[in-house]
Structures are given as C-alpha cells and as structure tokens.
C-alpha cells in the first residue's frame, strides 16, 4: 500500500510503482487524499487507487489497514490522526526532499517507521545519531536517492547555464515565519516585477492548507500583470525548467534547483524553519544550513537589485557525496521494496 498526501508526491512514487508492476505479480493499492492525483490516470489491473480524507476517515482506515508493506512520504507516524495499523505490517518512509531530518521535521517524526529510504549520506548519519541519542530501536536504512532530483538532473543538458536571467521562480517553504505566512511574499513579488523580471509564484502544498487566503490575495493583486505567473501544477517540474533563477527562504527545493539544474539561488534572510526545538541535540549541522552559502547568496529583500540579479552565478559543488544512486533511484527503490517483501530481488 502506498499513501500520498497529494498530487505533488506522484513523481516520487511513479517510477518505483511502474518497475514493481513490470517485474512482479504483486498487487498495489494506492491511497491518496487528493482527488486530482495523477495516480488515478495510471491504468493497470494490479494497481488500484482509492480516495480518503486527511482526518477521521484516514485515521480509521490506517488503524485497520491489513497490508504487508505500507509506504509513504508523510512523517509523524503514530502522531495526531495518522497511526499504525492494529495488524502487523512493515512501514517504510520515502524522502520527499533533501533537507535534514532533525530541524525541519517535528521531534520523533520517524521513530515509528521500520525502514527509511535515505536520499543521501546525511540522512543515514542523522537517523543513526537520533537512534543512539534517544535509545530507539534501529531501523533498516536504505541508500535510495531521490526521484525528483533524478528528474531534474535529466533535464540539465538541455539548459544553457549562461542564459541571461529573465524569469525568476519564487518557491517559498511553509511555516509561521516563512515568506507567505509572514507577509514577505507580497513585497518580494512587487519588487521583482518593478525590476522588470518575470516571476513564477509556486507556493508549497502545505501553504495552501494554512494560508490559502493570503495566497488568494496575492493572486488577485498580481494576476493581471503580464509578467506574473502562477504555478498551481505542483506535480510538474516545468517552472523549475523554464525559470533562470530561484528565490526562496528555507525551501529544500533550492538544493534540488541548484545542484540538479546548475542554476543560481537567492535565499531570503528569514528565520530558520525549525519544527523541532530539540534539533541541536543532534550534533550535525542540518544540510539546509550548511549548504546555503555553497549554492546561493543570502540577502534581505531591500538588497535585491537589478545589479545583484544580473551578477548571479551558479556555484560549483560536488553532488556525488550528497545524493545516492544519481539517475537510478527508482530502480533501487523498487529493488529494496522487493527485498523487504522477500520477493525475488532485482539486480
């Protein structure tokens, strides 16, 4: 059983599901909380898709789910309204970003999973240290990679890294102190448009849940500007490809954007996205902190000028030590899942 919070997560599951259906006779149930999930368009007699809510029905459903293996990108298992089933089953977490696991996620977010797919070495190190520090049962850690990164990396050769910046992607993260929620987004969009650039506004899926009215006000204000574009197709990577530079706050998309596409990044100097106040207990600097100056520049909105944007350059960094199985994560994901199920494994 796969569970998806919404359509933006389909690119993470799609490749793995296709391989499993091709090389095995296993049946897959795909449960989603989004009626527009692309999974509904995937036709296979052994692939069934069902819709649930994100509240009481989902809680009951997963509490009574009888499955050999449950796979998801949503953390916080056994918290709030998302609990493990009363039936014995194996729970696997797949990364939906490259950020570290101890600052951006809540305390104990991964404690109740049996296995973790790790996008890079930093995830392995973080989980192992968390287990040691809090005396937790050891989970099975797999060197998986990251499908969304693979997708973007495959587009790299089609992009001219020296292209003059004409279009800027604004993709903030979510949270109380993030760009949209704090009101900074309005000032940023207004400034970029006044400087004469095109801007693509791509809110995080979680911001639609907590700040829908603020997003709606921005769309009403700027939708008539010919240089303002709104990317509501969050399962697509088109805005990443068509833009020339990225502006964000603490979104993990910056890591993907810079390393996979070799495009410049501007970080807004806003407070860290801290969902775990105990993150300093883990004596590893989160990658979203350590990598900021290596892949982009950090500025205040008032420091963003035409001269600064025209001088942007992509910073070179070795990605081999950051992401596992570059370009081949789907194969390894399917391979590991078959191993968990004691099915004939892929080579």
Amino acid 261: pLDDT: 92
> Distance between CA 226 and CA 212 in Å, rounded?
23
Across the range 46-70, mean pLDDT stands at 94
> Distance between CA 286 and CA 294 in Å, rounded?
14
> Distance between CA 218 and CA 239 in Å, rounded?
18
Residue 347 has pLDDT above 70, yes or no: no
Residue-wise pLDDT for 169-187, tens only, equals 999 998 889 999 999 999 9
Residue with tokens 């001219």: 160
User: What does the CA dihedral 206, 208, 213, 218 come to, rounded to 10 degrees?
Assistant: 100
Residue-wise pLDDT for 140-152, tens only, equals 999 999 999 999 9
Residue-wise pLDDT for 122-136, tens only, equals 999 999 999 999 999
Kindly report the average pLDDT of the chain as a whole number: 93
Residue 270 has pLDDT above 90, yes or no: yes
Q: Which strands form 167-170's sheet, in the order they lie side by side?
A: 228-230, 198-201, 167-170, 245-248, 265-268, 296-299
């Amino acid at each position: 059983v796969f569970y998806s919070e919404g359509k933006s997560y389909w690119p993470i599951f799609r490749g793995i599901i296709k391989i499993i259906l091709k090389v095995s006779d296993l049946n897959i149930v795909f449960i989603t909380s989004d009626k527009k999930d692309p999974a509904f368009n995937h036709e296979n007699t052994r692939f069934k898709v069902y819709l649930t809510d994100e509240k009481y029905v989902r809680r009951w459903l997963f509490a009574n789910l009888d499955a050999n293996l449950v796979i998801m990108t949503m953390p916080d298992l056994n918290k709030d309204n998302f609990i493990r089933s009363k039936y014995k089953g194996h729970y696997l977490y797949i990364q939906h970003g490259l950020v570290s696991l101890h600052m951006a996620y809540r305390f104990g977010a991964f404690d109740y999973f049996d296995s973790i797919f790790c996008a890079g070495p930093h995830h392995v190190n973080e989980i192992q240290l968390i287990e040691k520090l809090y005396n937790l049962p050891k989970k099975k850690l797999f060197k998986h990679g990251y499908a969304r990164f693979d997708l973007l990396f495959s587009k790299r050769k089609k992009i001219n890294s020296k292209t003059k910046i004409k279009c800027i992607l604004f993709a903030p993260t979510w949270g109380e102190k993030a760009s949209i929620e704090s009101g900074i987004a309005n000032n940023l969009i207004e400034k970029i448009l006044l400087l004469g650039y095109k801007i693509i506004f791509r809110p995080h899926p979680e911001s639609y849940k907590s700040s829908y009215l603020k997003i709606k006000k921005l769309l009403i204000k700027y939708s008539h500007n010919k240089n303002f574009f709104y990317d509501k197709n969050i399962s697509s990577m088109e805005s990443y490809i068509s833009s020339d530079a990225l502006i964000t706050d603490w979104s993990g998309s910056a890591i993907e954007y810079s390393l996979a596409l070799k495009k410049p990044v501007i970080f807004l100097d806003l407070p860290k996205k801290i969902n775990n106040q105990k993150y300093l207990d883990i004596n590893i600097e989160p990658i979203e902190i350590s990598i900021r100056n290596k892949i982009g520049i950090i500025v205040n909105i008032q420091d963003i000028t035409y001269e600064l944007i025209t001088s942007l350059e992509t910073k070179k960094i070795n990605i081999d030590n950051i992401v596992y199985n570059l370009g081949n994560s789907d194969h390894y994901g399917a391979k590991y899942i078959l191993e968990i199920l004691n099915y004939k494994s892929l080579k």
